[in-house]
Amino acid sequence: MRTGPNGHGAELTGFRRFTWWAVPGTCAFMLVLFTGDWIVAGDLPAPVRALGAAALAVEVASCVVLLGRRLTVRPATGAPPIPLPAGWLAAGGAAAAVMAAIPLSRYDYGVWAVAPAIMVVIAATYLPPRRGWLLVAAAAALAPLPGGIVSNAAADGHLLYAALFPAGLVAFTGWTVLGPLWAWDTAGRLNEARMLSAELAVKDERLRFAADLHDIQGHHLQVIALKSELAARLAEVDPARAAAEMAEVRQLAADALSDTRAVVQGYRRTTLDEEIANATRVLAAAGIDARMSLDPAATADLDDTDRHLLGLVMREATTNVLRHSAARNADVDYRIAGGTARLRVGNDGADGHPLTASGSGSGGGSGSGLATLAERLRAAGGELAWDRDGDRFTVAAALPAGEEPR
């Protein structure tokens, strides 16, 4: 995710440029268009005209600086308010007072409120949204007083206009300034949320990769350790078989390296058929009587994703039998019944390991491998559960079969 010079997403650059022209640009334009034209074209003494022009320049500069800073430093959710540049606000407020007093002294009720309204709204942009709107509402409620008092004292017959127009001007200015800034803040927060979502997706992918790498390395290393121990025992009594076992160890090491490279490249896919065949050989080498009850045609109704998931379950269950049990017998049952592919792996050597004490596939206990697989199967519309009954430990997986690949 690229970021711009102000820390916002680069895709916000155009929106920020638009908001800058729509907010500070519009405020400066309103000041110059209404107040500036009145100062230049009005029948004013030269000193008063010069004072008004100087005040106009100061307020335009204050407006641009204050709103530009407000757009550059956007308040984050839950963060403290942005520090208000008090110097610029004081200068702009003094200039607005001068630009209000001059028209009001000449009974121009349509111009005097422009500069004060803009400064009040700019101050509101630095407050939390609710307080900002309260400030604008309070200013709109008080705006009828200056013009109303002057008009009533002069008895010029413009009391209604002098009282209501400034209030409407304050409300309109608040809407045109606070509205785009609210949209800018919302867009920034949404962009932050999208960046956070992208970061979480990357972290999830890293966790998935770590889980796959753990499955591969843990399984292969466990088998290599088992066969190496067996070869060491056979080295003196049966050298030929010991050599054969070490040849298998060498092949397993090569397979582990190949599988690791495939995971890094993102191409490896475990299949149920391969894992069942591998489990048969590995369990037999460990002296475990493995009984297989398989439907030969069952895997034909599974898509590649389901074969991969059930293959991971078979691999994890086999590794757990070797690592966490003292099993003498193991049984594997796989078939499709009622449109559901069911894989069941059991053994009689549960030894009270925290993994085998877990009650279900909901992720309880310390069985991180099965818990991770349970989440993946649930995401695919299936389920994974494991249970211990005495010295018997069973892992059962189910996935919908015969459906379109998910």
Query: pLDDT tens, 177-186?
Result: 888 888 888 8
pLDDT in tens, 289-314: 888 888 766 666 677 788 888 888 99
Alpha helices, DSSP H only, in 238-268? Answer: 239-265
- The mean of the pLDDT values for the chain is 79
Q: Tell me: the pLDDT tens digits for 368-385? A: 578 888 988 998 889 999
- Summarised one tens digit per residue, pLDDT across range 174-219 is 888 888 888 888 887 887 777 677 677 667 767 777 777 777 777 7
Q: How confident is the model at residue 268 (pLDDT cuts 50, 70, 90)?
A: low
Distances (CA, A) of 227 to 127, 223, 269: 71, 6, 25
Query: Which DSSP letter does residue 75 get?
Result: P
Cβ partners under 8 Å of residue 151, min gap 6: 107, 109, 158, 159, 161, 162, 163
Report whether CATH 3.30.565.10 matches the domain 288-406. Answer: yes
> Which residues 6+ apart lie within 8 Å of 49 measured at CB?
39, 40, 42
Residue pLDDT, tens place only, 40-83: 766 778 888 889 889 989 999 998 888 888 887 654 555 555 67
Across 339-356, average pLDDT:
76
308 touches 267 (CB < 8 A): no
Give per-residue pLDDT as tens, 359-369. Answer: 344 333 334 57
Residue 38: what pLDDT?
78
Residue 324 backbone phi and psi in degrees, to 5:
-120, 20
- Which one-letter DSSP state was computed for residue 84? P
Tell me what pLDDT residue 301 has.
65
> Which of the listed ranges 5-9, 37-41, 221-225 does the model predict with the highest average pLDDT?
221-225
**pLDDT at residue 257, rounded to an integer:** 79
Q: Is 78 exposed, middle or buried (0-12, 13-18, 19+ CB in 10 A)?
A: exposed
Rounded to an integer, what distance in angstroms lies between the CA atom of residue 120 and that of residue 122?
Answer: 5
Q: Domain-by-domain residue ranges, the chain? A: 10-198, 288-406
C-alpha to C-alpha distance for 388 and 382, rounded to whole angstroms:
21
405 exposed, middle or buried (CB, 10 Å; 0-12, 13-18, 19+)? exposed
Check if the beta carbon of residue 329 is closer than 8 Å to that of residue 288.
yes
- What is the per-residue pLDDT for 366? 37
Please, which residues bridge with residue 347 across strands? 330, 393
Taking only the tens place, the pLDDT of each residue in 126-169 is 888 888 889 999 999 998 999 888 888 888 888 888 888 899 98
